[in-house]
């Protein structure tokens, strides 16, 4: 472990702080970050935790999203985020880059992160979902290894049913709930059914999955913070939204400079 990351006791405390934020009086709101500067901006604004976005980090590193970023580069970026702030950090590590549960936990802790997203897209084939039971076993193994390491990592289990092909014979909602329940039973601390298409779907997921639910505000028909709070969503994130806004503004200003305008 780097001298710049907290010891295991400090990481263990940070993990419990992060977990408790999912059960507080208000939802945990996470404006996702992509580097140390954006992480400091979020922490300085008073947010109690910082979350990375794989799409933003990948873009900042010059790679496409979707597990195209080498694991070494992704975890190095997570390390730079974690060392720059004094609040718990949770990292979007997509499907885990083909790493074993032991490697996932070791790399997260070495980077100073105490939580992570793990998604059930089959990145090996580039499409579709991994087997739900197999994913539940993987999630359980990550939690088991983390506890043995002394840091009960906060696991946000992403359910990609609404982005990928669902299981034949079941509606996306039914399959998302089925997977969410499996993942909670496996030890997931939060379930992230990304892309739920409307308020009715979100409400059904909140009712059907016995654990905190993560929704991206404004994504694919999802409402904003206030309504998500009313629906019982416990974790509200912004994925790559902030990075896209910042980069769009950068491109606008660069274009203006190119034609001789001032900042």
- pLDDT above 80 (res 2): no
CATH-assigned architecture of domain 8-258: Alpha-Beta Barrel (3.20)
pLDDT of residue 28: 98
Q: Average pLDDT over the chain, rounded to whole?
A: 95
Query: Which regions of the chain does DSSP assign to beta strands (E)?
Result: 28-30, 50-51, 89-92, 115-119, 154-159, 190-193, 214-216, 235-237
Averaged over 167-186, what is the pLDDT?
90
Helices 101-111 and 71-83: crossing angle in degrees, nearest 10, is 40
Query: Where are the domains positioned within the chain?
Result: 8-258
Whole-number Å distance between alpha carbons of 114 and 11? 6
Averaged over 30-57, what is the pLDDT?
98
Whole-number Å distance between alpha carbons of 69 and 34? 13
pLDDT of residue 167: 64
Whole-number Å distance between alpha carbons of 160 and 176? 8
- pLDDT above 70 (res 108): yes
Q: pLDDT tens across 45-71, in order?
A: 999 999 999 999 999 999 999 999 999
- pLDDT above 70 (res 101): yes
pLDDT of residue 126: 67
pLDDT of residue 6: 73
Give residues with Cβ within 8 angstroms of 67, minimum separation 6: 94, 95, 97, 98, 123
Q: pLDDT tens across 235-259, in order?
A: 999 999 999 999 999 999 999 999 9
DSSP string, 182-206: HHHHTT-SEEEETT--SHHHHHHHH
| Selected residue with higher pLDDT from 100 and 6 | 100
Whole-number Å distance between alpha carbons of 191 and 182? 10
Q: pLDDT tens across 123-147, in order?
A: 887 678 999 999 999 999 999 999 9
Which pLDDT band, with edges at 50, 70 and 90, does 263 fall under?
A: confident
- CB count, 10 Å around CB of 175? 21
Residue 197, CB-side half-sphere exposure with 13 Å CA sphere: 7
């Amino acid at each position: 472990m780097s001298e710049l990351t907290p010891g295991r006791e400090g990481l263990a405390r940070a993990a419990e702080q992060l977990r408790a934020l999912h059960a507080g009086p208000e939802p945990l709101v996470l404006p996702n970050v992509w580097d140390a500067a954006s992480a400091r901006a979020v922490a300085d604004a008073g947010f109690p935790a910082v979350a990375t976005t794989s799409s933003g980090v990948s873009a900042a590193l010059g790679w496409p999203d979707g597990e195209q970023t080498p694991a070494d580069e992704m975890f190095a970026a997570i390390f730079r985020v974690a060392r720059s702030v004094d609040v718990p950090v949770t990292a979007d590590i997509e499907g885990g880059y083909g790493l074993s549960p032991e490697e996932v936990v070791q790399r997260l802790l070495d980077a100073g992160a105490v939580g992570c997203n793990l998604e059930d897209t089959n990145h090996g084939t580039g499409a579709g979902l991994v087997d739900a039971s197999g994913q539940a076993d993987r999630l359980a193994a990550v939690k088991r290894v983390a506890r043995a390491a002394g840091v009960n990592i906060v696991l946000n289990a992403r359910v990609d049913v609404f982005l990928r092909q669902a299981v034949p014979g079941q509606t996306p909602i039914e399959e998302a709930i089925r997977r969410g329940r499996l993942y909670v039973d496996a030890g997931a601390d939060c379930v992230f059914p990304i892309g739920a298409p409307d308020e009715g779907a979100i409400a059904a997921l909140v009712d059907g999955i016995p654990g905190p639910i993560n929704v991206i505000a404004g994504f694919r028909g999802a409402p904003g913070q206030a309504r998500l709070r009313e629906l019982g969503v416990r974790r509200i994130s912004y994925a790559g939204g902030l990075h896209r806004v910042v980069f769009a503004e950068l491109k606008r200003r660069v274009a203006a400079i190119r034609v001789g305008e001032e900042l």
